[in-house]
């Protein structure tokens, strides 16, 4: 893993702040009905992505996740303007406006989406890793899902196959405490989701996911294991989401005080504290970063607003590869 | 007749019960024998608490055996249709409240009934299950983890003990992990055990259909996958009144029921629902508006669209449409549709799900089999296109009232 230096912290601060502001901007345009469909925001969970990206080798490693997926492709290199355009449903979006918020894909940067069905993407991740192993590349696949998805049968099927065939996959459960409205306490008789790996003798463990350093270390160890050919790892990222499950979530299942408590360990604040404590940047430099982030978000919004909607004909064009099957009327 | 279904002893059935049969003039012992054997089959299919059957399809053809092979569509039998319009007092409410109150009634009447699904304890994502946990307790109304296979599998098992299991799938789009449990377990439970066991007391409720901004995974209408399964019942209410009647019928049914709720109508469809309990017969369609020129068939939310289309046809073109709510998609009421088509000579079926392989195709084929010579125009289907449910082009995709109006006009043109 690359060493964690002063520049790392500054990059983490800028990236995480940008992701946070990006999500906040999406929330505000969603209320204006410019973004349709459903919107699931990543606020509070940024450290997982920041740490994981630091440990990954983006030239060969891949990621697949569920529907809280706006910032992962941006972190992996995709143009944030195209991601925002996709959310607006415009033709310049990553999926040409076909998918929307829950289905961001980026073939160029190795981001496999963007999946609506809970737990549906877990065996997919194992399959992508199988492809890597089969072709002899030492790329690794990070398969992310939520604490709700941990209750799906597809998880066990994927775990079993991954251990059996020693697939280079890292299973990451982003445990933010709530499966939409149901807390983890109410979905199982124990709260340590990482223990699900024990039954498969998979290396597994919890990670403090509000701290990007801890995340980077854990993911790095898992990546090295996978690259060596020693098979999968299961990491439970203990995190928290500050916003609701989606924009239509009234959040009756938790108190405002609880959210306030967790705001004290906000990953962005943690990184900023380290920067200030070790004098990695002056107040002016931090200010400059904040302004830059604001400008970038505005640029994305402008691009998305000004892009055109897709043509209706496009609906028919991407069902199959061959375009002239008789029954597509 | 399969030998596992023994014919009842003719002498045991009192002749007075035959009054309920639609067949008049039973003159010979032979006719009586044939009738009794078909009764056994019917009794097994539907939730008949009495021996009475209100109609048996074999009066249409003389070839009795051929009818028995024509399984799902051929039987339209049920308890009598309640005269809902006469019931008083009534309360004005929307679909959510109607379902909520009906679930309350079911849990009250049947002490073995349990209700479970994801996030239903606080009321569910659509608030259909509000206050049920506080009224009936955590033992009977509870949340499940996020595992559809487990939810339905458990429902099948619980129902097989003779208890009533009401499982909620949060959106119909998510039912597919559970599809195996419905297809390979629930629907075959009775058949494979030679009628020893059944998992009849099971209702799977799920919101379906387009809602304006649902995208790929919150808008699907998967009814066609389920109508292809022999052994289950598929019902779709079009509003609060039908929802109460159909849900109560489902709760006394001895066959597993898949209950699709049109989510777009949850808050917007408001009716005066009778306070007392009433049971809408399963397997029977309802003629909403009588007409003479075109038969228009739909179910659930699509009927709102079709009503508008029929109105436009009447107002602007003087076309009189007979609008039929199928209500039960499996087994479906082919008799009512056939009778209507014999009258009008033209048929239009409309649904949101893609046209290829949809329920419209089944209806069209069965109708032309039965009354081909009555048809004056090819049967029209106005449905969704063959593609995944789109995100922003939803308006273009949906079979709206204008597409249906065009189809109605074309039918009239053709038949001239």
- Asked whether the predicted pLDDT for residue B295 surpasses 60, the reply is yes
Distance CA B103, CA B248 (A): 8
Give Rg (Cα) of chain A.
20
Contact A25, A300 (CB under 8 A): yes
**Active site members of B:** 148, 218
For A193-219, the pLDDT digits (tens) are: 999 999 999 999 999 999 999 999 999
- Asked whether the predicted pLDDT for residue B392 surpasses 90, the reply is no
Contact B232, B330 (CB under 8 A): yes
More confident residue, A79 or B72: A79
Phi, psi at B38, each rounded to 5°: -70, -30
Phi, psi at B83, each rounded to 5°: -85, 80
- Asked whether the predicted pLDDT for residue B26 surpasses 90, the reply is no
Three-state DSSP class for residue A236: strand
Sheet of strand A204-208: strand arrangement: A62-64, A141-146, A169-175, A233-238, A204-208
Looking at the DSSP assignment, which residues form a beta bridge with residue B295? B322, B347
Distance CA B283, CA A299 (A): 58
DSSP secondary structure code for residue A200 in this structure? G
Nearest-neighbour CA in chain B from A297: distance (Å): 23
Q: According to the model, what pLDDT value does residue B15 have?
A: 44
HSE-CB for A31 with a 13 A CA cutoff: 5
User: Pick from B17, B207, B13: which is nearest to B120 by CA?
Assistant: B207
Residue in A35, A67, A91, A100 to test binding to B, most B beta-carbons within 10 Å: A100
Phi, psi at A145, each rounded to 5°: -155, 175
Among B147, B149, B387, select the one facing A319 at the smallest CB separation. Answer: B387
Q: Is B394 on the interface with A (CB under 8 A)?
A: no
Least confident of A299-308, B30-39, B271-280, B403-412: B30-39
Q: According to the model, what pLDDT value does residue B22 have?
A: 35
User: Pick from A207, A226, A232, A259: which is nearest to A48 by CA?
Assistant: A207
Q: According to the model, what pLDDT value does residue B52 have?
A: 38
Contact A298, A291 (CB under 8 A): no
- Asked whether the predicted pLDDT for residue B10 surpasses 50, the reply is no
Determine the average pLDDT of the residues in B248-265: 94
Q: Is A327 on the interface with B (CB under 8 A)?
A: yes
Determine the average pLDDT of the residues in B222-231: 94
Using a 10 angstrom Cβ sphere, with 0-12 exposed, 13-18 middle and 19 or more buried, the burial of residue B110 is: middle
Q: According to the model, what pLDDT value does residue A320 have?
A: 74
Among A89, A117, A119, select the one facing B392 at the smallest CB separation. Answer: A89
Q: What is the largest CA-CA distance in chain B?
A: 65
User: Pick from A40, A254, A296: which is nearest to B215 by CA?
Assistant: A40
List of chain A residues whose C-beta atoms are within 8 Å of the C-beta of residue B145: 148, 151, 179, 182, 187-188
Torsion angle of alpha carbons A125, A128, A129, A133, nearest 10°? Answer: 170
Residue partners of B356: CB distance under 8 A and separation at least 6: A327, B386
Three-state DSSP class for residue A171: strand
Query: What percentage of chain B reaches a pLDDT higher than 70?
Result: 81
For tokens 């309990």, what's the residue?
A: B277
- Asked whether the predicted pLDDT for residue B255 surpasses 70, the reply is yes
pLDDT band at A47 (very low <50, low <70, confident <90, very high): very high
Distance CA B271, CA B239 (A): 7
pLDDT band at B38 (very low <50, low <70, confident <90, very high): low
Q: According to the model, what pLDDT value does residue B34 have?
A: 64
Distance CA B346, CA B353 (A): 22
Q: Is A98 on the interface with B (CB under 8 A)?
A: yes
Distance CA B13, CA B40 (A): 12
More confident residue, B29 or B13: B29
Strands B286-289 and B321-325, sheet pairing: antiparallel
User: Pick from A243, A180, A239: which is nearest to A28 by CA?
Assistant: A243
Helix (H) or strand (E) holding A186: none
User: What is the torsional sign of CA A118, B97, B286, B348?
Assistant: negative
Q: According to the model, what pLDDT value does residue B36 have?
A: 59
List of chain B residues whose C-beta atoms are within 8 Å of the C-beta of residue A315: 385, 387, 390, 393, 396-397
Provide the mean pLDDT of chain A: 91
Do the Cβ atoms of B393 and A312 come within 8 Å? yes
Determine the average pLDDT of the residues in B348-369: 95
In chain A, at which residue ranges do the beta strands (DSSP E only) sit? Answer: 62-64, 141-146, 169-175, 178-179, 182-183, 204-208, 233-238
Q: According to the model, what pLDDT value does residue A271 have?
A: 94
Give the count of beta carbons closer than 10 Å to the beta carbon of residue B356: 16
User: Pick from A80, A83, A112, A76: which is nearest to A100 by CA?
Assistant: A83
Determine the average pLDDT of the residues in A158-167: 94
User: Pick from A27, A2, A32, A54: which is nearest to A241 by CA?
Assistant: A27
Determine the average pLDDT of the residues in B310-328: 96
Determine the average pLDDT of the residues in A118-132: 91
Give the count of beta carbons closer than 10 Å to the beta carbon of residue A306: 10
- Asked whether the predicted pLDDT for residue A269 surpasses 70, the reply is yes
The token duo for B95 is 């679909």
List of chain A residues whose C-beta atoms are within 8 Å of the C-beta of residue B134: none
- What string of H, E and C letters represents the secondary structure of chain B? CCCCCCCCCHHHCCHHHHHHCCCCCCCCHHHHHHHHHHHHHHHHHCCCCCCCCCCCHHHCCCCHHHHHHCHHHHCCCCCCCCCHHHCCCEEEEEHHHHHHHHHHHHHHHCCCCEEEECCCCCCCCCCCCCCHHHHHCCCCEEECCCCHHHHHHHHHHHHCCCCCEEEECCCHHHCHHHHHHHHHHHCCHHHHCCCCCCCCCEEEEEEECCCCCCCCCCCCCCHHHHHCCCCCEEECCCCHHHHHHHHHHHHHCCCCEEEEEEHHHCCCCEEEEECCCCCCCCCCCEEEECCCCEEEEECCCHHHHHHHHHHHHHHHHCCCEEEEECCEEECCCHHHHHHHHHHHCCEEEEEEEECCCCHHHHHHHHHHHHHHHHCCCCCEEEEECCCCCCCCCHHHHCCCHHHHHHHHHHHHHHHC
Q: According to the model, what pLDDT value does residue B35 have?
A: 62
Please work out, in degrees rounded to the nearest 5, the angle formed at the alpha carbon of residue B341 by the alpha carbons of B335 and B347.
Answer: 115
Determine the average pLDDT of the residues in A218-242: 95
- Asked whether the predicted pLDDT for residue B9 surpasses 50, the reply is no
Which residue from A minimizes the CA distance to B356? A327
Distance CA A281, CA A292 (A): 15
pTM: 0.78
Distance CA A29, CA A24 (A): 9
Q: According to the model, what pLDDT value does residue A190 have?
A: 86
Q: According to the model, what pLDDT value does residue A121 have?
A: 92
Q: Give the Å distances, CA to CA, from A242 to A23, A176, A260, A264, B392.
A: 12, 9, 9, 11, 28
Q: Is B147 on the interface with A (CB under 8 A)?
A: yes
Distance CA B92, CA B13 (A): 44
Nearest-neighbour CA in chain A from B58: distance (Å): 36
Query: What percentage of chain A reaches a pLDDT higher than 90?
Result: 73
Which residue from B minimizes the CA distance to A245? B125
Determine the average pLDDT of the residues in A33-48: 92
Phi, psi at A4, each rounded to 5°: -90, 110
Determine the average pLDDT of the residues in B340-365: 95
Q: Give the Å distances, CA to CA, from A328 to A315, A317, A322, B10.
A: 11, 10, 11, 54
The token duo for B415 is 């038949």
Distance CA A243, CA A259 (A): 9
The token duo for B229 is 């399964």
Distance CA B313, CA B405 (A): 6
Residue partners of B344: CB distance under 8 A and separation at least 6: B291, B292, B293, B294, B295, B322
HSE-CB for B207 with a 13 A CA cutoff: 24
- Asked whether the predicted pLDDT for residue B362 surpasses 80, the reply is yes
Nearest-neighbour CA in chain A from B173: distance (Å): 8
Distance CA A143, CA A65 (A): 6
pLDDT band at B415 (very low <50, low <70, confident <90, very high): confident
B318: left (phi over 0), alpha (psi -120 to 50) or beta: left
Which residue from A minimizes the CA distance to B382? A329
Do the Cβ atoms of B385 and A187 come within 8 Å? no
pLDDT band at A109 (very low <50, low <70, confident <90, very high): very high
Q: According to the model, what pLDDT value does residue A187 have?
A: 86
Q: According to the model, what pLDDT value does residue B28 have?
A: 55
- Asked whether the predicted pLDDT for residue A135 surpasses 70, the reply is yes
Q: What is the largest CA-CA distance in chain A?
A: 67
């Amino acid at each position: 893993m690359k060493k964690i230096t002063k520049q790392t912290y500054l990059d983490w601060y800028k990236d995480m702040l940008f992701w946070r502001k990006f999500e906040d901007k999406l929330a505000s345009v969603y209320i204006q009905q410019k973004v349709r469909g459903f919107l699931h925001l990543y606020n509070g969970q940024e450290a997982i992505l920041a740490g994981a990206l630091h440990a990954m080798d983006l030239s060969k490693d891949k990621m697949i996740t569920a529907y809280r997926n706006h910032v992962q492709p941006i972190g992996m290199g995709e143009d944030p303007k195209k991601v925002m355009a996709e959310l607006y449903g415009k033709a310049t979006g990553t999926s040409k406006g076909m998918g929307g918020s829950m289905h961001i894909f980026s073939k160029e940067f190795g981001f496999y989406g963007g999946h609506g069905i809970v737990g549906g993407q877990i065996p997919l991740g194992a399959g992508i890793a199988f492809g890597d192993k089969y072709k002899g590349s030492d790329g690794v696949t990070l398969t992310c899902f939520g604490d709700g998805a941990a209750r799906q049968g597809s998880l066990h099927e994927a775990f079993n196959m991954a251990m059996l065939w020693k697939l280079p996959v890292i299973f990451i459960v982003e445990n933010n405490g709530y499966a939409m409205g149901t807390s983890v306490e109410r979905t199982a008789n124990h709260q340590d989701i990482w223990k699900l790996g024990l039954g498969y003798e998979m290396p597994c463990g919890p990670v403090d996911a509000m701290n990007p350093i801890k995340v980077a270390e854990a993911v790095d160890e898992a990546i090295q294991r996978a690259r060596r050919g020693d098979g999968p790892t299961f990491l439970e990222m203990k995190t928290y989401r500050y916003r609701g499950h989606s924009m239509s979530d009234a959040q009756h299942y938790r108190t405002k005080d609880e959210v306030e408590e967790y705001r004290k360990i906000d990953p962005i604040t943690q990184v900023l504290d380290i920067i200030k404590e070790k004098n990695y940047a002056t107040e002016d430099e931090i200010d400059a970063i904040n302004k830059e982030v604001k400008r970038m978000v505005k640029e994305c919004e402008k691009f998305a607003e000004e892009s055109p909607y897709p043509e209706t004909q496009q609906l028919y064009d991407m069902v199959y590869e061959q375009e002239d099957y008789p029954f597509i009327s | 007749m399969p030998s596992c279904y023994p014919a009842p002893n003719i002498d045991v059935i009192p002749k007075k019960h035959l009054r309920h049969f639609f067949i008049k003039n039973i003159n010979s012992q032979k006719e009586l024998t044939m009738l009794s054997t078909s009764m056994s089959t019917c009794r097994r299919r539907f939730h008949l608490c009495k021996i009475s059957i209100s109609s048996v399809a074999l009066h249409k053809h003389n070839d009795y055996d051929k009818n028995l092979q024509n399984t799902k569509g051929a039987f339209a039998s049920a308890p009598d249709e309640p005269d809902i319009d006469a019931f008083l007092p009534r309360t004005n409410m929307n679909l959510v409240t109607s379902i909520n109150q009906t679930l309350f009634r079911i849990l009250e009447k049947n002490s073995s009934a349990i209700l479970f699904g994801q996030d239903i304890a606080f009321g569910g994502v659509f608030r259909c299950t509000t206050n049920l946990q506080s009224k009936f307790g955590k033992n009977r109304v509870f949340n499940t983890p996020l595992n559809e296979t487990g939810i339905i599998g458990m429902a099948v098992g619980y129902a097989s003990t003779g208890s009533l299991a009401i499982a909620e799938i949060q959106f119909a789009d998510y039912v597919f992990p559970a599809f195996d449990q419905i297809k390979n377990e629930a629907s075959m439970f009775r058949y494979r055990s030679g009628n020893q066991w059944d998992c009849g007391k099971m209702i799977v409720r799920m919101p379906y259909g387009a809602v304006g901004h649902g995208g790929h995974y919150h808008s699907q209408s998967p009814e066609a996958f389920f109508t292809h399964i022999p052994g289950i019942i598929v019902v779709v209410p079009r509003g609060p009144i039908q929802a109460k009647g159909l849900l109560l019928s489902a709760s006394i049914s001895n066959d597993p029921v898949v209950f699709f709720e049109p989510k777009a109508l949850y808050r917007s469809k408001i009716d005066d629902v009778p306070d007392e309990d009433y049971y809408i017969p399963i397997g029977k369609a309802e003629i909403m508006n009588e007409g003479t020129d075109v038969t228009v068939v739909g179910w659930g939310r699509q009927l709102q669209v079709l009503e508008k289309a029929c109105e436009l046809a009447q107002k602007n073109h003087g076309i009189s449409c007979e609008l039929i709510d199928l209500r039960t998609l499996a087994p479906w009421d082919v008799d009512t549709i056939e009778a209507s088509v014999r009258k009008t000579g033209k048929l239009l079926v409309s649904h949101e799900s893609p046209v290829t392989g949809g329920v419209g195709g089944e209806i069209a084929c069965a109708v032309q089999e039965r009354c081909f010579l009555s048809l004056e125009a090819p049967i029209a289907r106005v449905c969704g296109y063959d593609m995944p449910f789109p995100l922003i082009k939803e308006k273009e995709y949906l079979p709206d009232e204008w597409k249906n109006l065009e189809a109605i006009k074309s039918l009239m043109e053709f038949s001239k």
